[in-house]
Amino acid sequence: MKRSAKSTKGPALRPVTDTEVRVEYHTIHGYRRAYRIAGSGPALLLIHGIGDNSSTWDDVIPILAQHYTVIAPDLLGHGRSEKPRADYSVPAFANGMRDLLVVLGYPQVTVVGHSLGGGVAMQFCYQFPRFVERLVLVAAGGVTRDVHPALRLVTTPVAHEILTLLRIPGVVPVLRTGARALAAAPHVPGIPSGISPRRMLNDHEDLMRVLGDLADPTASSAFLRTLRAVVDWRGQVVTMMDRAYLTERLPVLLIWGEEDTVIPYHHAQLVHAAIPHSELETFPGCGHFPFHADPERFTRIVIDFIERNEAVVFDPQNWRTLMSEGQRPEEFTGDEETVEAVLEALEDERSAT
């Protein structure tokens, strides 16, 4: 179901004060993990993307905290969490989310995942279904191979040398200035709008913010380990599509920017087709960070979704039935082209190349 923005109108939302958003730490399995926490009530887990950190949610945590206990971790290897030589796979990140929730004493949560965090959120639902009440995927990774060409480049052997250049004083500011200039440049006739510098760099401020953090050697090392676990030179190597059917009873909301060049909007349509009961909210003209482009609309959508959908209660028998029967392609929705693309994505996942 694709919902319009009008359905999310309501009374004005008042952010809590900044002092109510706390950064706290717990050492789990010997690694110090940081997380932001605010508010009270039902738990809401926010999972950031690759190379990012929990501060990416700063615009929305104060509003969401009016209604929920908001927990926004720094994934291992990111932000203020430790950056060891460790397992940075999607299942390992999902394990880390489970461990943190156990330590904090929250047995059920609504999970919101952005980009890589969306893939982690989906994996968390698969590995620990008893913990999950609802699922919100925001420009989520792990749909098909398509991904921004720059991420493919960074998986190549020369990536380490490229990232070491960020440590040279002045390099990051120069890159930031260059990206800003290209993003503001007028359209050049003859260049397709889909690959114009303005469109490819529509998220330049956020991307440069993430890139700037990688000047730290331990952060860049953790970033490369994380990226190479999910992307190679051909694109994304981990998919959620083959297990999307397991969300049959789980309320699912998809939020995507229509101009996303990191994880294309087409992926939202594929997930929406593969999860027929899901809701899709589109942010026109927006790139990879819809919660930065319009945080008030984003929070209204999430709050409305939670209020309208009761928390699912895990049913072991239903889970067994779903896994025994497997995917049911005949239940995919959408036009013929979209359904065919979903089937191709599933077949591509099964291929050995």
What does the pLDDT average to over 217-243? Answer: 77
Q: Is 115 a catalytic residue?
A: yes
Poorest-pLDDT segment among 238-247, 297-306, 317-326: 238-247
What does the pLDDT average to over 246-270? 94
- pLDDT given for residue 2 in this prediction: 55
* pLDDT over 80 at 239, yes or no: no
Does 113 have pLDDT greater than 60? yes
Name the least confident of 17-31, 174-188, 248-262.
174-188
Query: What pLDDT does residue 19 have?
Result: 44
Q: What does residue 262 show for φ and ψ, rounded to 5 degrees? A: -80, -55
Find the range with the poorest average confidence among 61-70, 145-154, 296-305, 313-322: 145-154
CB distance 259 to 287 below 8 Å? yes
Strands 31-38 and 22-28, bridge-based pairing: antiparallel
| 216 confidence band (pLDDT: 50, 70, 90) | confident
Helix axes 336-350, 265-274, angle to 10 degrees: 90
pLDDT at 182: 55
Choosing from 74, 206, 213, 260, which is the catalytic residue? 260
Its sign, for the CA torsion 21, 23, 29, 31, is positive
Q: Helix 171-184 crosses helix 204-213 at what angle (to 10 degrees)?
A: 170
- Identify whether the C-beta of residue 246 lies closer than 8 Å to the C-beta of residue 132: no
Cα dihedral 177/146/193/196 (nearest 10): 20
Please give the average per-residue pLDDT across 22-31, as a whole number. 96
Q: Give pTM, 2 decimals.
A: 0.84
Sign of the Cα torsion 203, 205, 208, 210 reads negative
pLDDT at 4: 41
Q: Order of strands, edge to edge, in the sheet holding 279-283?
A: 22-28, 31-38, 69-73, 43-47, 109-114, 132-138, 252-257, 279-283
- Is residue 73 very low, low, confident or very high in pLDDT (cuts 50, 70, 90)? very high
Question: Which among 139, 123, 116 has a CA at the least distance from the CA of 226?
Answer: 116
- The average confidence (pLDDT) of the chain is 83
Which residue in the list 54, 81, 115, 278 is annotated as catalytic? 115
Average pLDDT of span 206-230: 77
pLDDT of residue 267: 92
Got the DSSP string for 209-247?
HHHHHTTSHHHHHHHHHHHHHHEETTEE---SGGGGGGG
Would you call 204 a catalytic residue per the annotation? no
Say whether 288 is catalytic.
yes
The residues, ordered by sequence, that sit 6+ positions from 215 with a Cβ below 8 Å of its Cβ are 166, 167, 172
- The catalytically annotated residue of 67, 267, 288, 292 is 288
Distance (Å, whole) CA 221 – CA 218: 5
- 250-260, pLDDT tens digit by residue? 999 999 999 99
Closest CA to 136 of 303, 347, 18: 303
CB atoms within 10 A of CB 125: 24
